[in-house]
Amino acid sequence: MTAAATVRFLSDGYLTELESLAGSSQPAIPHVNVRLQFRATGTPEGDVDYHLLIEKGVITGAGRGLLADSDLTITATYRDLVDFQSGDLHAATAFVTGQFAVTGDRAKLLELILVLQSGHYHQFTADLWARTTW
């Protein structure tokens, strides 16, 4: 058995692997549907736009680029996104302090927080994060 390859955070490879995890055991949250746009500033590649699609509380899609009809846009520094993904920055703290700047439908933000704060998100991405460099 070969070891899984490392990927750089927010690279095409990272986002492809994140999307491929969609079939794994993520708990459904029936009323949570969010089309989420991110803008990461200060990455090693400059600013990076990427998105997540969440259906019934489950991440079903991820990729680079802009969504034409996102519900929310979150702008954050690369460092803050790394800290969030590693578990060093709590989602609610990031939103309250402005480390994650949000535009769009604030009701969808509350739905998103249900996914990010449930603890399942970090469990779901733990193996991928263990192989991620930044």
* pLDDT number for residue 24: 66
Per-residue confidence band for 124, with pLDDT thresholds at 50, 70 and 90? confident
Give me the percent of the chain exceeding a pLDDT of 70.
93
- Work out the mean pLDDT of the chain and round it to a whole number: 89
**Per-residue pLDDT for 126 more than 70?**
yes
Report the pLDDT value the prediction gives residue 96, as an integer from 0 to 100: 93
Q: What is the pLDDT of residue 87?
A: 86
pLDDT at 101 over 90: yes
Collect contacts of 19-24 with beta carbons under 8 A, ≥24 apart: 19/59, 19/60, 19/61, 19/62, 19/63, 21/59, 21/124, 21/125, 21/128, 22/58, 22/59, 22/60, 22/61, 24/124
Range 62-86 average pLDDT: 95
Give the C-alpha separation, 61 to 76, whole Å: 20
pLDDT interval class at 53 (50, 70, 90): very high
Residue ranges per domain, the chain?
7-123
For the stretch 6-52, pLDDT in tens is 999 999 999 888 888 766 667 788 999 999 999 999 999 899 999 99
CATH (one of 3.30.1050.10, 3.90.660.10, 3.90.1200.10, 3.20.20.70) for 7-123: 3.30.1050.10
Query: Tell me, what's the pLDDT at 127?
Result: 84
Helix ranges, the chain (H): 12-20, 78-86, 91-97, 106-117, 120-130
Residue 1: pLDDT over 60: no
Bridge pairing between strands 34-43 and 72-77: parallel
Strands 72-77 and 58-64, by their bridges, are: unpaired
